[in-house]
Amino acid sequence: GESVGLHLPTLSVQEGDNSIINCAYSNSASDYFIWYKQESGKGPQFIIDIRSNMDKRQGQRVTVLLNKTVKHLSLQIAATQPGDSAVYFCAPNRSQGGSEKLVFGKGTKLTVNP
Amino acid sequence: ETGVTQTPRHLVMGMTNKKSLKCEQHLGHNAMYWYKQSAKKPLELMFVYSLEERVENNSVPSRFSPECPNSSHLFLHLHTLQPEDSALYLCASSQDTHTGQPQHFGDGTRLSIL
């Protein structure tokens, strides 16, 4: 079956350091990928997305890298702040019956220490 | 601030009760989704609506009954639920169900079954 995994269930960093959250996916047909951030008591919040025709995309303090050869993507957060503490999900797409689904992993919990 | 609003935020009900969860999106989207989020499990897609028509039902028990009266509103009617149905229920919307469309989530309803 299809799976989405993350290399570490938890990640702890010092404020000001850079964070890297990794994600592996299994479906080689996935061509669209989203990173979400979920803070305690809230729903998942869209951070950044990337399509398969790109291998890198940058946003404000975040960069997503995509390696389709090994089916891996990563989210890099620069100068991590306490407000970045949350659970981060990658969600590759999967097309089925003409409509698209997102496949979610269990997430990585990022803790930023002051 | 979110473009997807869910009510109530918290709900406690007995197994014989009937209640409804409500979701409203203010983004002008044509697709809406219900997800279940249980502790330490990935998000589970329950239902997908596109232009008020159900396009996906992921083998969800009949004690969950969705309703989409228009493209801005989505309900989840609950009856005779089981303790294992206790979870966070998330609503999301997207422009449509075609590829490359990010889903935007509400903050969920925390449901507890006594």
CB–CB of A41 and B105 under 8 A?
A: no
CB–CB of B105 and A45 under 8 A?
A: yes
Give the pLDDT score at A1: 47
DSSP B21-88: EEEEE-S--SEEEEEEE-TTS--EEEEEEETTEEEEE-S--TTEEEEEEETTEEEEEEES--GGG-EE
Cα separation, B103 vs B108, in Å, equals 14
The Cα angle at residue A63 between residues A62 and A64, in degrees rounded to 5: 125
Q: What is the mean pLDDT of residues A104-113?
A: 92
Facing residue for A32 by CB, picked from B43, B92, B99: B99
Give the pLDDT score at B39: 86
Q: Read off the amino acid at residue B113.
A: I
Give the pLDDT score at A5: 65
How many C-beta atoms lie closer than 10 Å to residue A67's C-beta?
11
Query: Quick one: pLDDT band at residue A77, thresholds 50, 70, 90?
Result: very high
Query: Quick one: pLDDT band at residue A81, thresholds 50, 70, 90?
Result: very high
Q: What is the largest CA-CA distance in chain A?
A: 47
Q: What is the mean pLDDT of residues B16-26?
A: 95
Q: What is the mean pLDDT of residues B49-54?
A: 90
Tell me the β-bridge partners of A91: A34
* Segment A26-57, tens digit of pLDDT: 999 999 999 999 999 999 999 999 999 999 99
Facing residue for A99 by CB, picked from B2, B55, B102: B55
CB–CB of B99 and A93 under 8 A?
A: yes
Facing residue for B105 by CB, picked from A44, A49, A100: A44
Q: What are the tokens at A96?
A: 């089925």
Closest CA–CA distance from residue A82 to any residue of chain B (Å): 20
Chain A residue whose CA is closest to B91: A43
- Is the CB of residue A86 less than 8 Å away from at least one CB of chain B? no
Q: Is B95 exposed, middle or buried (0-12, 13-18, 19+ CB in 10 A)?
A: middle
Residue A46's contacts (CB-CB under 8 Å, 6 or more residues apart) are A34, A36, B102, B103, B104
Is the model's pLDDT at B18 over the cut of 80?
Answer: yes
% of chain B exceeding 90 in pLDDT: 78
B55 or A45: which leads in pLDDT: A45
Q: What are the tokens at A3?
A: 């799976």
Is the model's pLDDT at B13 over the cut of 70?
Answer: yes
Give the pLDDT score at A33: 95
Residue A33's contacts (CB-CB under 8 Å, 6 or more residues apart) are A25, A49, A50, A51, A52, A64, A66, A73, A90, A91, A92, A93
Give the pLDDT score at A98: 66
Number of helical H runs and strand E runs in chain B: 0, 11
Cα A53 to its chain centre, rounded Å, is 17
